[in-house]
Structure 1
Amino acid sequence: MSKLKIAVIISSTRDARFGEKPAQWILEKAKERPELEVELVDLRDFDLPFFNEAASNLWMPSQDPKAVAWQNKISEFDGYIFVVAEYNRSITGALKNALDQAYTNWNKKPFGAVGYGTVGAARAIEHLRTIGTELQMVSTRSAVHIGSGDFFTVWGGGANQPISAIEQSIGPSAKDMLDQLVWWGQATKAQRANETQAAQAAE
């Protein structure tokens, strides 16, 4: 099977965000895996409007060209790693809007998460998993949670050390998450290909 194409999605767009630091770390970790081809995808680069379509693209094509460009981009990938900030016990508004701007493009693909903050974005990642279920996605069991002392060790407002300073703490969960992403990515990619072949044969 060809390599799985995976997007590492930075989900915070605010000027003072921390997300680029863990995003670059997990990007490099994922690139070490021979099964994966990995690309960084930054929500800042897409300037998405708030969702304003008549319905999701499950029911009709989207009209806004920025939404369509986003859908086309995420369609390139076999799976995703979301870099998750926690805002008031949930994901960022920017990420929720990006998820809502597509539907069919997310279907039958796996995702993992790297969360950060005082509780490692644990509540936000659980919310993301619930949203992913509705989008017909598969969540990895394991996620990376950069929380408590680990967070203040690497956060710019704390000691601002490199992520490597806490790798002994978070490295095992990153490996587990990537192992699971590869397994589910290969399984879902194969099944999507089977479904495409069956549909073409029925035409």
Structure 2
Amino acid sequence: MIRIAVIVGSTRPGRRGESVANWVVDTAAALPAVIDGRVAVELVDLAAFDLPMLDEPVPAAFASYAHDHTRRWADTVAGFDGFVFVTPEYNHSFPAALKNAIDFLYAEWHHKAAGFVGYGIHGGTRAVEQLRQVMAEVKIADVHTQVALSMFVDFTFTDPADPTDPGTCTPGPHNVAALGTMLDEIVAWSAALKPLRAPAAEPLSV
């Protein structure tokens, strides 16, 4: 079975990312590969891990983790074959919490596939472009198709004038189609890369 994690990349109170991630998981449930049990798509919420700012004394490439929170995060990431990163755009980039979570680990990311669901005024496109550069460094193959959700047309708000209203993710048909294509690409690449993946994090040899 191919396991895909949908990672909620924002930990901000009142974030919209949780609604977006739930939409991704719910939409993925209709994929034939998920229905017949060949693929599992699961939600992974960074907020549930309560990671501090990177506090490991040894670089992640050595896989010598001193803290329980790092080992818990490493075990979670190691168990997946691919990822969907759900990210807002903060000041032309993606959230610090997501970069911090990526930086905690190294080998656990290797030889896996990833796709991106961005959201924001500009659809999170600039955040995704920066994430693609980070993916290359941790040896993740990022797929071409991505989803860009606009705050103006892809969310429904109870009170549009209330900045604390997170709203509900209600994407149009073209974004549903794009997500389906992206998930198919992630599954295909995750399966293709499987022979290269180590069974567990391997420390760097020196």
TM-score of the two chains, using structure 1 as the length reference: 0.86
Task: Map 1:46-195; keep pairs closer than 5 Å.
Answer: 46-147=49-150, 149-151=152-154, 153-154=155-156, 158=160, 162-164=168-170, 166-192=171-197
- Shift of the alpha carbon at 1:148? 5.5
Alpha-carbon offset, residue 15 of structure 1: 0.9
Secondary structure, counterpart of 2:16 in structure 1: coil
Question: SS of 1:186's equivalent?
Answer: helix
Rounded Cα–Cα distance in structure 1 between residues aligned with 2:16 and 2:70: 26
Aligned-residue sequence identity (percent) comes to 34
Q: CA–CA distance in 2 between the matches of 1:84 and 1:157?
A: 23
Does structure 2 retain, via aligned residues, the 8 Å contact 1:84–1:91? yes
Aligned counterparts of 2:147 and 2:52: Cα–Cα separation in 1: 29
Which structure exhibits the higher relative contact order, with contacts defined as CA atoms closer than 8 Å and separated by 6 or more residues?
2
Give how far 1:50 is off: 0.8
How far apart, CA to CA, are the structure 1 residues paired with 2:10 and 2:169? 18
Structure 1 CA distance for aligned equivalents of residues 9 and 158 of structure 2? 18
Distance in 2 between residues matched to 1:157 and 1:143, nearest whole Å = 29
Residue 87 (structure 1) shift: 0.7
Q: Gaps spanning 5+ residues in structure 2: where?
A: 200-206
Alpha-carbon distance between aligned partners in 1 of 2:135 and 2:116, rounded to the nearest angstrom: 12
Contact 1:56–1:100, Cα closer than 8 Å, also in 2: no
How many residues are matched? 190
Relative to 1, partners in 2 of residues 1:187 and 1:123: Cα closer, same or farther, differing over 3 Å? same
Structure with greater helix share of residues? 1
CA 1:140 to 1:61, structure 2 compared with 1: closer, same or farther past 3 Å? same
AA in 1 matched with 2:39: L
Asked whether the equivalents of residues 28 and 180 of structure 2 are also in contact (C-alpha less than 8 Å), the reply is no
CA RMSD in angstroms comes to 2.0
Instruction: Answer yes or no: is the 8 Å Cα contact 2:27–2:176 preserved in 1.
Output: no
- Tell me the distance in 1 between the aligned counterparts of 2:191 and 2:149: 27
CA deviation string 1:143-181 (max 9, x = no partner): 110025324x435663987544x3313112112211111
2 CA distance for matches of 1:131 and 1:26? 22
**How far 1:32 moved relative to its partner?**
2.1
9, 26, 30: which is aligned to 2:7?
9
**Cα distance in 2, alignment partners of residues 80 and 186 from structure 1:** 13
Residue 114 of structure 2 aligns to a residue whose secondary structure is strand
Alignment gaps of 5+ in structure 1: 197-203
Provide the secondary structure at the position in 1 that maps to 2:74. helix
